[in-house]
Structure 1
Amino acid sequence: MRKPLIFLVLIAIAVVATVLVADPDPDRLRALRDGVADWQAAHPVALPAGFFALYVAVTALSLPLAVWLTLLGAALLGFWKGLVLISFASSLGALLAFLVARYLMRDWVRGRLGPRLSKIERGVARDGEFFLFSLRLIPVVPFFVINLAFGLTRMKAWRYYLVSQVGMLPGTAVYVAAGAQLGTLDSLSGIVSPGVLGAFAALAVFPWIARAALRFWARKRAYRGLERPVKFDRNLIVIGAGAAGLVASYVAAQARAKVTLVQDGPMGGDCLNFGCVPSKALIASARAAGAARGSQALGVKAEVSVDWPRVTKRISEVIAQIEPNDSVERYEGLGVEVIEGHARLEDPWTVRVGDQRLTARGIVLATGAAPVIPPIEGIGSVEPLTSDTLWDALAALPAPPARMVILGGGPIGCEIAQALVRLGAGVTLIEAAERLLIREDVEASDAIAAALRADGVDLRLGAKAIRFGRDDGKWLELEDGTKIGFDMLLVAVGRKARLEGFGLEELGIPTGRVIETNDYLETLMPNIYAAGDAAGPRQLTNAAGHQGWIAAANALAAPFWRFKAHGAPIPHAVFTSPELARVGMTAAEAEAEGVAHEVTTYPLGDLDRALAEGAGEGLVRVVTAKGSDKILGVTVLGAHAAEVLAEFVLAMRHGLGLGKILATPHVYPSWSEAAKNAAGRWRQAHVNPRTLRIAERFMTRRRG
């Protein structure tokens, strides 16, 4: 039904435009306008009623013609009559679309809107009618999407109508004013008259004014009943000394702001002390052992023995080498005041640390995350380890653990399992899902599973632990009745944001899995920001660092300037052998979100450098927009995957397509050529056969 109607309207617009362009005579324009006015005078009800009905229908059917109808209606009816009719017609049409979505098309709307719907549902849960009002005032989401999505929320229909009526009125008035000015034109040269130029200037300026008004209203609403200090001790207080907190503090210090960093734990946070650094040090030793065992394929025979005490000692040495970069001394040298202790918010501008009461214009919550221990029967009795406690336990052993169980097949579980097995441990990895690394590309996930099994990991997929216990030794029972004995248990099923004990509940700052923030990392209190694992959505050190500088910059520059946090592509990697690195969407995610896409796969077995090093297993898989070289996501599986991925991340960040990568000279032979060759595969698939035939005929003629 929509396509024929759109087609007819476009034909009508084209006919009118052709007439006006072909003969832009002022008398003709006046005659056309006067003819409409005479018809309206003879039929005073028909034109407004017909226009009202048409506008309601267009809005209810979610046709993208509302702006043009608004301008046309205002030109024909004038400002006041046009404003009344269009305002009520748009709100009534929006209500009809709302009701249709709610009662007749719920499944269709949910399938079509996907992630957009989830975002709107979260906004309604957080801000209620104010969220709808903000969307109506500043249409960052198309109106037809708002109408359909809100039909699936719990908002009452009468509230939806009233908020829509009020929220759309200012924007409608600006458009009606522009249309009314167009209706007064006697000639095309009148388009540059002060009235018309002023109307269209108002269209351009209105979103800025509306945004400023909304922000002012939101701040007033958030701080209702709270007294803001007249003066502040500091520009910024940062709570948490992990990646996000350290970057935020660094940014503030470089801006010559007075900044205080409150840390309740070791400087450097989880990454330095329990995560990235110690795990990669362990993996380095494991890769050396794996390379030595596999060197016979390259014509080198080697006997491998593992000095376990030296392996664990080196982990501590690596941490100690990196530690000065994150130390109290370094940050104090940069101008950051560092205070040890637990921070608690007393109000949006005040932080209590022990006996000290600190005030600041802006606050950044970078409280991090902690490992989750699942509520499985008896798990406490077997002394489970987490990534926080694993390293001391390993260092206390004279040799690699002979019987270790790892619960969880995510990045941590896969990395540690493979590393320990390569160093001589006995490891059973249990994952409840049907495959490892469930969010990654299926082929890449299966390749990691095969690699772990080849190294000696006892991999149990689709296995759920239901009970732990100990008698003569520690054991766990799986859902199928299998019992597995072990000496050491590592739980790696995920991490939970640290949200309790910071005063968030008392201030009414919403928290779920993470602290709720907007695109600028602002919490419900606009001067309080959250970054890193506490803010999500990805628990990655590089994501935390990126958010840390965004939060600090926004806190220091408010209200004059602010940056969005979600524009940059954030890559991640699993440092198994082979490595798995990814940025952006997988093909499965693009499919689930209804994004039109294409997939290009380049096998590393075709890369000369990979063959020379005996490392041809793996692939580069690029997801691009349908019919375009725009990169939506990339998965790299193989040696040096994290380094190969970097070129794609750079391209995505700066809007460069595969064509630009293909046109860039690369070192030969190198691993970076994998990116160029993948781009070449995409190009080959998009060569027009007709162009090739023409080229062939042209070359044949040139030969004579």
Structure 2
Amino acid sequence: MTGKKSRLIIIAVIVLLIAAFFIFDLGRFLTLDYLKSQQAAFDSYYTEHTTRTLAIYLAIYILVTALSLPGATVMTLAGGAMFGFWTALLVVSFASSIGATLAFIVSRFLLRDWVQNRFGDKLGAINAGVEREGAFYLFSLRLVPLFPFFVINLVMGLTPMKVRTFYWVSQVGMLAGTAVYVNAGTQLGRIESAAGILSPGIIISFVILGLFPLFAKKVMEIVKARQVMARHPKPEHFDYNLVVLGAGSAGLVTSYIAAAVKAKVALIEKHRMGGDCLNTGCVPSKALIRSAKMISYARRAGEFGLRKMEAEFNFAEVMERVQSVIARIEPHDSVKRYRELGVDCIEGEARVTSPYSVEVNGRTLTTRAIVVATGAAPYIPPIKGIEQVDYLTSDTLWELREKPEKLLIIGGGPIGCEMAQAFARLGCEVTQVEMRPRIMGREDADAADFIRQRFEDEGIRVLTEHVAREVRVEEGRQALLCDHRDNKVEIEFDRLLIAVGRRPNATGFGLEELGVRLTGRGNIEVDPFLRTNIPTIFCAGDVAGPYQFTHTAGHQAWYAAVNALFGDFKKFKTDYRVIPWCTFTDPEVARVGLNEREARQQDIAFEVTRYDLDDLDRAIADSEDHGWVKILTRKGSDKILGVTIVGTHAGDLLAEYVLAMKHGLGLNKILGTIHIYPTMAEANKMAAGVWKKAHAPEKLLHWIEKFHRRRRGKGSAADPAEPGREN
């Protein structure tokens, strides 16, 4: 008989058996109610025909498991009730393992060749992992099932795992869980009345049933940790409690916290203290934006009742001011300050050589834990010919001293947008290229479209749906070729700024040799406690993701430091519930929580409240009466789901909503809070008032109106005529 015919016969038999199970409703015999109603008859038959009963039970259990039919759990409980703990444990343990192995073999015989032939190129890593550590993975799934057991049986059949390995691991791995269920079954079998449900035995059994997965998960964590660490001898003593790699926001805060709780900590930085935020990111960009805004105010003189105002400037001097701002803030992040705090600051290139050691400047530091806070670097897209030009990034931009005449910016995210507006205000001819349908793709369309219109009004050429393909340099002329729908577009430039995002600095310093796992996006893979798959190595900041903000790096640093130092006693899951951010264009765009697009994608019922800033007294007085506050609330409630603010100082205004969302305060609380008049912050109270007006209790107000009318008395001169009646 050919393999194909054998497969068809097996499939036909399986289909017939499964069909019979459902057609004849055989599942009704595998319910607790039915088995309980027949318990007396089962007990009598079992007493007279012990061996036969066990054999029939064994065969049915194997069949149910092999066909992946529902009912195995009920049969396990019933086995405990009918046969007692030890007999049921022995029979169920073998029956479940045999049935699972049969399902494994059938899956392998029917599907493995087809799956491997079709997807073999994508399954190489999985196959290699199964061959290397498949027994351990299977044991983990058996002990703490991430998927139903029948799924595990079928999926494992598609892998190279040996049948005997699958059987013995299943036999051992399912034993503890089987014992818990069988024990619960013995207690269920003793229930004679409703009062029996509250007996100590049944209560204890179900407590064990509930706690077992948690206990098993903890055991597996310990086993996995020991398996990973077994290859690395633990030092008898340590130089440090914590070694931190990277002195950006995450590394600085981690070190600060560790020193504050009197841990001995070393901070290693290969370049400059303060990291990207101080030297090439937040600080210099905001300094430049401020200078550019002053120039824009001069051009808006007429809005402020001034006939004429000119801002004379030298581009190089503006860029030097940026450096002076960095220099003034630098002491906050300096080696001197951190040494005074108790941190050993080491300048050099670090390499992680084991879960307990870091090498720097030829010296090996032993440590109980390591926090990797190595940040990220600008991502350079694979554009043909890009290497021909001296392109700029957010790292190198600040070296400019000669103003570009034609600046081309690739990227419509926060960095690209902020720099496009700043350089345009400094007198550059700016073209911004974005491959997606709009700039600021994370924000709602109304905010993105508003900023685009502002950009175009200021002379910025914004080209969306333009895909950069090639850089050409011919006779000193530099140009970017883009695809725009079905057309080719050529854009000439003097200087090119690449601002399409940042890639994590996750490799090149020893982690890959230790087997630290990365995500598909290139971040270091961490659990909710910011711990890598090596228990002594933690991460924080851009290298960990999922956000690339200075404030989230500092937020993660607390969890990384505390979990690294005290995780053996108490661990804290990183709280990502309320993450705000702001793009510092003019006007600013700030957001926390969901926007409309995300709420729809998640199928969340919501209401939108919008307050336009052209109604706000302070905004009018400042001639900044543009933008809005948009609040998403849960339908029928004042609970805040998300807020987007477009306007002057939007990032500052957002803080009130961040606090409210963090601590569960609704719009009614904001409405009941005094806000200083006249300030921009009043916009938050005004927005809450708009929501309240839309949710006013109309029926109650109608009755209150009648109450007041009656108190004024009939025929009151101030009482307006009601419709249909004369005064």
Q: TM-score of the superposition, structure 2-length normalised?
A: 0.77
Return closer, same or farther for 1:333/1:622 CA change in 2, 3 Å cut-off: same
Contact 2:612 2:629 in 1 (8 A): yes
Q: Tell me how far 1:293 sits from its aligned partner.
A: 2.5
1:242-253 maps to which residues of 2 (within 5 A)?
242-253=248-259
Q: Corresponding residue for 1:648?
A: 657
| Partner Cα distance (1:298, 1:391) in 2 | 32
Return closer, same or farther for 1:647/1:57 CA change in 2, 3 Å cut-off: farther
Contact 1:404 1:487 in 2 (8 A): yes
Q: Corresponding residue for 1:506?
A: 513
Contact 1:381 1:470 in 2 (8 A): no
Q: Does 1:573 align with 2:582?
A: yes
Q: Corresponding residue for 1:222?
A: 228
Structure 1 spans left out of the alignment, 5+ residues: 6-15, 17-31, 104-119
| Partner Cα distance (2:39, 2:426) in 1 | 89
Contact 2:65 2:150 in 1 (8 A): no
Q: Corresponding residue for 1:547?
A: 556
Q: Tell me how far 1:271 sits from its aligned partner.
A: 0.6
Among 403, 406, 425, the residue aligned to 1:403: 406
Contact 1:587 1:599 in 2 (8 A): no
Deviation string 1:235-268 (CA, Å, 9 cap, x unpaired) is: 1111111111111111111111111111100000
1:283 alignment partner AA = I
Deviation string 1:331-358 (CA, Å, 9 cap, x unpaired) is: 1101100111111111111111122111
Q: Corresponding residue for 1:597?
A: 605
1:23-38 maps to which residues of 2 (within 5 A)?
36-38=38-40
1:251-650 maps to which residues of 2 (within 5 A)?
251-308=257-314, 309-393=316-400, 396-397=401-402, 400-468=403-471, 469-479=473-483, 480-512=487-519, 513-592=522-601, 594-605=602-613, 606-625=615-634, 628-650=637-659
| Partner Cα distance (1:295, 1:152) in 2 | 73
Deviation string 1:593-633 (CA, Å, 9 cap, x unpaired) is: x3423141413244444344333332333344555544443
Q: Tell me how far 1:677 sits from its aligned partner.
A: 4.1
Contact 2:301 2:309 in 1 (8 A): no
How many residues align? The count is 644
| Partner Cα distance (1:697, 1:76) in 2 | 69
1:277 alignment partner AA = V
User: How much is the aligned-residue C-alpha RMSD, in angstroms?
Assistant: 4.4
Q: Per the alignment, in what secondary structure is the counterpart of residue 532 of structure 1?
A: coil
The farther-off stretch of 506-515 and 186-195 is 186-195
Structure 2 spans left out of the alignment, 5+ residues: 1-21, 23-32, 47-52, 112-125, 711-727
Q: Does 1:199 align with 2:231?
A: no
| Partner Cα distance (1:259, 1:153) in 2 | 49
| Partner Cα distance (1:79, 1:659) in 2 | 59
Q: Which has the larger radius of gyration?
A: 2
Contact 2:61 2:75 in 1 (8 A): no
Q: Corresponding residue for 1:20?
A: none
Return closer, same or farther for 1:218/1:310 CA change in 2, 3 Å cut-off: same
| Partner Cα distance (1:51, 1:696) in 2 | 71
Contact 1:599 1:621 in 2 (8 A): no
Return closer, same or farther for 1:539/1:126 CA change in 2, 3 Å cut-off: farther
1:41-120 maps to which residues of 2 (within 5 A)?
41=43, 79=85, 88=96
Contact 1:345 1:504 in 2 (8 A): yes
Q: TM-score of the superposition, structure 1-length normalised?
A: 0.79
Q: Corresponding residue for 1:209?
A: 215
Q: Tell me how far 1:575 sits from its aligned partner.
A: 0.2
Return closer, same or farther for 1:616/1:165 CA change in 2, 3 Å cut-off: farther
| Partner Cα distance (1:652, 1:520) in 2 | 22
The farther-off stretch of 669-678 and 210-219 is 669-678
Return closer, same or farther for 1:41/1:682 CA change in 2, 3 Å cut-off: farther
The farther-off stretch of 676-685 and 343-352 is 676-685
Contact 1:55 1:69 in 2 (8 A): no
Percent of counterpart pairs with the same letter?
45
The farther-off stretch of 303-312 and 525-534 is 303-312
Q: Tell me how far 1:59 sits from its aligned partner.
A: 9.2
Q: Per the alignment, in what secondary structure is the counterpart of residue 502 of structure 1?
A: coil
1:454 alignment partner AA = D
1:475 alignment partner AA = A
Contact 1:237 1:261 in 2 (8 A): yes
| Partner Cα distance (1:672, 1:153) in 2 | 62
Contact 1:382 1:470 in 2 (8 A): no
Q: Corresponding residue for 1:110?
A: none
